[in-house]
Amino acid sequence: MNTKAVARPAIVLLLISAVAAGLLGVVSEVTAAPIAAQNEKSLNEGMQAVMPDASSFEQLDVELTGTITAVYKGDNGGFVLTTAPGGFGGAVNTMVGIDADGVITGLRVTSHSETAGLGAKSTEPAFYEQFAGKSGSVSVTKDGGEIVPITSSTITSRAVCSGAQEALDWVAANGGAY
């Protein structure tokens, strides 16, 4: 076997790989700040949507339990919690606003892997607006609650209810401490 016949393509491939890796590194560095800024903007817009009476939010350094992923305190005394309960296709990330009295001020599904046309309907106002004004126990009608589940997507509906309930429970247990 001829070593030159193998070495030359290997060196060329190594150089191409090194250039590609370098370019990917540069692109990553250039886009990191704009991506972080956009994520921060989306987070703030989401919190404003679920708790319109607050103008600023501070992330609390608290022990996270269950599917709660973050807790923020609004300048109005309310809280915004993010949760990630399991749905049909994976985690259904929700953002729940709860006022100082323990009442849901708003809820949004921020991301999911649910079936298009079914569980994906959890992002539509017809579904998530049902949560505003709820307190105490939150569940779908099939489980004795007041939330009308998405047709053919009870698992997703239950997941969103579960996230809302976890947020309500956290505020009931910890809200007075913050």
132 vs 34, higher pLDDT: 132
Given pLDDT bands bounded at 50, 70 and 90, which one contains residue 26? very high
- At 1 the pLDDT is 65
Q: Tokens representing 37?
A: 């800024």
The CA-CA-CA angle for residues 106, 107, 108, to 5°, reads: 135
DSSP per position, 106-173: EEEEEE--PPTTTGGGGGSHHHHGGGTT--S---BGGGTSSBPPPTT-HHHHHHHHHHHHHHHHHHHH
- At 66 the pLDDT is 92
Given pLDDT bands bounded at 50, 70 and 90, which one contains residue 76? very high
Q: What percent of the chain has pLDDT over 90?
A: 70
Half-sphere exposure of 44 (CA within 13 A, CB side): 10
pTM: 0.80
Mean pLDDT of the 123-147 span:
94
H helix or E strand, kind and range, residue 18: helix 3-50
146-156 pLDDT, tens per residue? 999 998 888 99
Torsion of CA 54, 58, 60, 61, to 10 degrees: 170
